[in-house]
Amino acid sequence: MSSQTYNPQQTLMAQYVSATVIGLGVTGYSVARYLRARGLTVTVLDSRSEPPLASEFKREFPEVETRFGVFSEGDLTSAGLVVASPGVSLKEPMLRAAKKHGAHIVGDIELFLQENSKPVIAITGSNGKSTVTTLVGAMCEAGGFKALVAGNIGKPALDSLTDQIDFDVAVLELSSFQLETTYQVPAESSAILNISADHMDRYDSMGDYVLAKARIIRGAKRAVLPRHDEWLAQITNVNKILGFELEAPSSDCDFGIVRKSGKRWLVKGDKRLMLLSEIPLIGLHNVKNVLSAFALVDFLEISLDALVNAVLNFNGLPHRMQTVVAVNDVAWVNDSKATNVGATATALNNLEQNVIWIAGGQGKGADFNELRAAVSRNIKHLVLIGEDAPKIEAALTGLLPISLANDMQGAVNQAAGLASDGDIVLLSPACASFDMFRSFEDRGDEFTRCVEITLAESDGGAV
C-alpha cells in the first residue's frame, strides 16, 4: 500500500511527487504534460501495443517511463496517484486492484478544477452538450469575457493551465466518463441537459449512468435542469435550481416559452428574451438548448442584446442537425452525432416536417424499442445501414416502411427517390459509427459527400 494518505484539504499536486497516467490518447498526453510541467515523475501505461501518439510522446518526454500492452492486475499495486483517461473504465481489474492498495484515482478534470481559480460553467447531458457548451462560450465572449471552452470538446482542459492560457471563465463540457473520476465540480452553474440511455455497454444500469452524470452538481452554486425529467426530479441538494422547458415558466428563476400576440417568445419568468422564430437552429430541442444556455450565463449579468446577438450568429456545430444542403425544397440534414437512441428520438420528436430517416450502426447495447414512441406519422420511411440494422428493423417493424442499404451511398440514393417537396432527409443513426466509419464525423462527412454525388447525378444539379 502507498505510504501517502490523501488529504482532501490539499491539492493532489501538493501531496504527490509521482503519478501514473493510464491511456496515451489526447487526454493522457495532456495529463502527462501537465504533471511533468509541475515536476512530478510520470509513468504512462496503455493497453495498446502501439498507441497512436507514442512516437511523438517519446520524442517530447524521453525521460518518462512508458509501458504498452495488455494491462496486468498488479501493474499499479505500488502507485499513489493514478490519472485515468476517460476511455478507461474504473471496472478495469488493474484499477480496482490499485484502489484496494490505496491508490488515489482521478481524471484530468479533477486536476484542472483543483488548480483553476476562474469561474466555471459545467455542462453535461446525454445529448446537446457540445452545442450548448459552444453557444455558452459565444455568449460569454459577446459579453466581454474571455471564455475557455474545453473538456469533452476542443483541447483538453489541462492544456490551458500547462500553456498558461488567459481566460475569464471556463466553460466545460463533461462526459459521464470524465465525471466518474471527478470528486466535485465547484461551478458557478452546472447543467444536466437531459438523460437518456447511453453507454449501457459500460454501465450496469441507468441508475449508475445517472449517478455519474449527477456528480456535476456536487459543489455547484446553481443547477440548470429540465423541469420534467423523471431521472433528475430528485436533485434538490443545490442552493438554486434554474429550470427550463418548452412551456411557460413556473417561477421567476425558470426559463421557458410563452405565446404573446400570436408569437412564441423565449422568456425568463415574465421577461422576454427573444422570438423563437429568430433562432437559426433546426428543431425544438435546439430551442431547449438555447434556453439552457441563457440560464447557464444568467449569473454573469451580460446584456440581453449581447446574448441575443450570440444566438443569432450561432449556426450550430457540424454533424448536429446540420443542414448540408436544401435543393428542390428538400433539406438534407446531417445529425451523425446522434450516436444513441435518446439523441435520435429527440431529433424525430422535434421535427414537424415529413422525414425520410437514415439510421443504423453499432448500438452499444441500446434498447431500440425506445425509438417506437418517436415514430410518428411524419416519419415517412426508414432506411437502415450498419451492423445493428436488423435489431432496429425488428424493433420498429409495423410502425413505418423500412428498407435496407449496403452503404451510405445506397441509403442516400434510396432517400432521394423517396423524398418530396417540403421533406427532410435526416441522417440520425441512433448508433455509434465504428462498424463502417472512423468516427461520427467521418460518417457525417460521408453522408454529405454522398448527397453531393446523388444530387449532381439528378435533375437537382450539383450542390
Among 84, 21, 24, smallest CA distance to 52 is for 24
Q: Is 104 a catalytic residue?
A: no
Q: Is 101 a catalytic residue?
A: no
> Other CB atoms closer than 10 Å to residue 94's CB: what's the count?
22
> Other CB atoms closer than 10 Å to residue 223's CB: what's the count?
24
Start-to-end Cα distance in the chain = 64
Residue pointed to by grid coordinates 498526453? 29
Among 147, 125, 149, 154, smallest CA distance to 289 is for 125
Helices (H), 169-322: 176-180, 206-214, 284-296, 304-312
Bridge partners for 450 per DSSP: none
Q: Which of 152, 286, 289, 340 is catalytic?
A: 152
Q: Which of 104, 199, 285, 381 is catalytic?
A: 199
Type and span of the H or E element at 409: helix 408-418
* Secondary-structure breakdown of the chain: helix, strand, coil percentages, each rounded to the nearest 5: 35, 20, 45
Q: How many residues does the chain have?
A: 463
Q: Residues with Cβ < 8 Å from 188, sequence gap 6 or more? A: 119, 120, 121, 220, 221, 222, 299
Burial of 171 (0-12, 13-18, 19+ CB in 10 A): buried
- Integer Cα distance of 256 and 234 in angstroms: 21
Q: Which of 104, 127, 129, 319 is catalytic?
A: 129
Q: Residues with Cβ < 8 Å from 55, sequence gap 6 or more? A: none
Residue pointed to by grid coordinates 429550470? 243
Torsion of CA 406, 409, 413, 416, to 10 degrees: 130
All three cell numbers of 193, joined, read 441537459
Helices (H), 44-190: 54-60, 93-100, 108-115, 129-142, 157-162, 176-180
Bridge partners for 259 per DSSP: 264
Q: Is 7 a catalytic residue?
A: no
The residues carrying an active-site annotation are 129, 152, 199
